[in-house]
């Protein structure tokens, strides 16, 4: 790619993998004179300079800026992105909170959250536990909000509710609409982001995760300045709301001094308690505190086996996940509608008929949800959830 002198705008050299190749006698002035060596096009703060023989002429290591992370993430299809240097300033506090939450039993049967190292420190508590080489994290946000009705709005009493994020689909090369799984969609984008970073910075260590790795995405998102943790325990972006997927790219690249630490977004929940008041199973036990063992999303997706009878009435018509605490949140009222072509909603999954869903045999169910996040619940788990929703459909009580 061409690079330009910030003073005269004359092309002086070409850059590939952050390597500057000197191509003419006029470039020699860059090393001995006072000429500017900023890269106007890419705003790169540091880069390596080599002569034609491959000798390293400078000694500065590359550093990543927040602007570069944001621009590249957008080019890869993300709505927004933030950058945080590791370890971040609130890491000890967040690690302590996460550890306390898990060890108090509020994670339910999600045993993978309990995995610890040889020092009995939870692997997910701090990035440095599994990845001591990590120096930065790019946290990406992908908006999935659609213009369709909310779960709390008027609906047919014989309809169920599948969480908005699981409606996702895309149109394939044949022009046919197919289910899409955000894990696969966003992981592909993270890998594209990783490749673009390597074009600019050369080789470095990295790991990419979308809800599957030993990282607490929400904690890193807050530290990267993407938003604050709401009283419903979701990340709330001040402009995009909370209907967004989070994914993380860990790297061994240092963060530029001007971007460390990241500028945090202050808590804007104020005195609002709409999410706590609306939660039908009492999973939000206090502001910013959630007991997963009572959460409808956990009960309908992660939990295996029978559901406690006392929780069933509150589950209402929810058959996969739950959007209630986000649907009532004022910060989602004016947030923009997503235009992501790989995360478009499937109309048949919006307020689907309970009778239709209950009529599906396992083969039909697999065809309907192949490639969809809904498969996480499994056929038997989905049928269990349907039975609860159908039982509640005559008189939903406190459920929605």
CA 21 – CA 12 distance, rounded (Å): 9
CA 309 – CA 291 distance, rounded (Å): 17
Sign of CA dihedral 255, 85, 287, 350: positive
Report the DSSP beta bridge partners of residue 251.
136, 206
The token duo for 116 is 């610890």
Per the listing, tokens 């239709």 go with: 356
CA 60 – CA 44 distance, rounded (Å): 12
Contacts of 370 (CB under 8 A, 6+ apart): 179
Report the DSSP beta bridge partners of residue 22.
13
Q: Find the angle CA(284)-CA(288)-CA(293) to the nearest 5 degrees.
A: 35
* 211 annotated active-site: yes
CA 299 – CA 313 distance, rounded (Å): 13
CA 227 – CA 267 distance, rounded (Å): 8
Q: Which of 67, 211, 254, 267 is catalytic?
A: 211
Please give the positions annotated as active site.
211
């Amino acid at each position: 790619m061409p690079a330009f002198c910030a003073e005269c705008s004359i092309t002086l050299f070409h850059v590939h993998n952050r390597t500057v190749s000197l191509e003419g006698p006029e470039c020699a002035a860059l090393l001995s004179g006072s000429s500017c060596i900023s890269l106007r096009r890419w705003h790169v703060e540091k880069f390596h300079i080599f002569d034609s023989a491959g000798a390293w002429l400078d000694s500065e290591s590359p550093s990543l800026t927040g602007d570069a992370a944001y621009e590249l993430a957008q080019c890869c299809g993300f709505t927004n992105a933030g950058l945080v240097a590791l370890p971040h300033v609130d890491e000890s506090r967040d690690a302590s909170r996460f550890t306390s939450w898990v060890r108090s039993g509020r994670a339910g049967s999600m045993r993978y959250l309990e995995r610890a190292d040889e020092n009995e420190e939870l692997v997910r508590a701090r990035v440095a536990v599994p990845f001591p080489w990590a120096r930065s994290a790019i946290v990406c946000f992908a908006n999935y909000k659609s213009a369709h009705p909310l779960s709390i709005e008027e609906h047919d009493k014989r309809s169920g509710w599948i969480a908005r994020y699981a409606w996702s689909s895309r149109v394939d090369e044949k022009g046919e609409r197919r289910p899409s799984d955000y894990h696969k969609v966003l992981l592909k984008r993270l890998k594209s982001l990783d490749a673009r970073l390597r074009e600019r910075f050369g080789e470095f260590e990295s790991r990419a995760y979308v809800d599957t790795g030993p990282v607490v995405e929400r904690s890193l998102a807050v530290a990267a300045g993407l938003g604050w943790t709401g009283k419903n325990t979701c990340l709330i972006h001040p402009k995009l709301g909370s209907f967004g997927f989070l994914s993380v790219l860990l790297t061994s690249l240092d963060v530029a001094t001007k971007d460390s630490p990241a500028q945090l977004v202050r808590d804007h929940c104020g005195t609002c308690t709409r999410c706590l008041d609306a939660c039908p199973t009492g999973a939000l036990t206090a502001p910013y505190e959630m007991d997963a063992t009572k959460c409808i999303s956990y009960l309908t997706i992660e939990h295996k086996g029978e559901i406690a009878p006392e929780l069933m009435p509150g589950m209402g018509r929810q058959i996969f996940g739950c959007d209630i605490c986000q649907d009532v949140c004022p910060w989602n009222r004016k947030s923009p509608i997503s235009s992501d072509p790989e995360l478009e909603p499937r109309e048949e999954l919006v307020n689907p008929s309970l009778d239709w869903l209950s009529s599906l045999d396992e083969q039909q169910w697999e065809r309907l949800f192949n490639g969809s996040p809904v498969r996480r619940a499994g056929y038997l788990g989905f049928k269990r959830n349907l039975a609860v929703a159908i039982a509640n459909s005559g008189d939903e009580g406190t459920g929605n």
